[in-house]
């Protein structure tokens, strides 16, 4: 019998990628979304995870930096930790503990438009302001530096000359929803 692969998901907001992954793996007996962690105990992502019957763990930034969150995560024996709209920087000790097991999706084609403060609409505004003709998403492993971990996969979308932040955000979110489950599956199969 195959070992069940455990996933932990970290969110800070609405968690649409989290919900997509929970739904995708719900009927897969070989993969379990063990828990959803969040630094925002009342965020929509936590509420939706609870509605889906997933264990949730809320924590403070202090608990993340003290090592408490890493201890809790280790107890759940994750095969993969997925950051799905998680906005806090992961401490070096945490990334060292789970090296090669923390996946993030960034809403641009890294190394362009990455780094501190580059998330969500901030990225899309910068991409449009720079006159880029394409954008996309980057799946990468997480290390102690913002958006500098090894790139796993990238997916592109065109930017129209009249592109608005909101329409680019929709294109990027569609790419995330389309590709997130298959990227996670490939990593779990390794």
Cross-strand partners of 55: 35
Q: What is the DSSP string of 23-46?
A: HHHTT-TTEEEEEEEES-TTSHHH
Q: Is residue 106 flagged as an active site residue?
A: yes
Q: Where are the alpha helices (DSSP H) in the chain?
A: 16-25, 44-51, 61-66, 68-75, 92-97, 120-129, 165-189
Cα distance between residue 189 and residue 112, in whole Å: 29
Is residue 57 within 8 A of residue 41, CB to CB? The reply is no
Residue 97 C-alpha from the chain's centroid = 18
Cα distance between residue 45 and residue 170, in whole Å:
18
Say which of 65, 106, 124, 145 is annotated catalytic: 106
Whether the Cβ atoms of residue 68 and residue 91 lie closer than 8 Å to each other: no
> Where in the sequence numbering do the catalytic residues fall?
106
């Amino acid at each position: 019998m195959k070992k069940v692969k455990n996933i932990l998901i970290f969110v800070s907001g609405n968690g649409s990628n989290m919900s997509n992954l929970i739904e995708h793996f719900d009927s897969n007996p070989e993969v379990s979304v063990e828990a959803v962690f969040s630094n925002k105990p009342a965020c929509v992502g936590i509420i939706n995870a609870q509605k889906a019957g997933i264990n949730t763990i809320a924590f403070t930034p202090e608990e993340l930096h003290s090592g408490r969150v890493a201890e809790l995560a280790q107890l759940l024996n994750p095969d993969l930790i997925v950051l799905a709209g998680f906005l806090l920087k992961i401490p070096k000790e945490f990334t060292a503990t789970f090296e090669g097991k923390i996946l993030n999706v960034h809403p641009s084609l890294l190394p362009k438009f990455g780094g501190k403060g580059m998330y969500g609409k901030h990225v899309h505004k910068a991409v449009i302001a720079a006159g880029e003709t394409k954008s996309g998403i980057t799946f990468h492993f997480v290390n102690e530096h913002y958006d500098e971990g090894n790139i796993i996969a990238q997916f592109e979308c065109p930017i129209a000359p009249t592109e608005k932040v909101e329409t680019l955000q929709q294109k990027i979110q569609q790419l995330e929803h389309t590709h997130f489950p298959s990227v996670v599956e490939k990593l779990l199969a390794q």
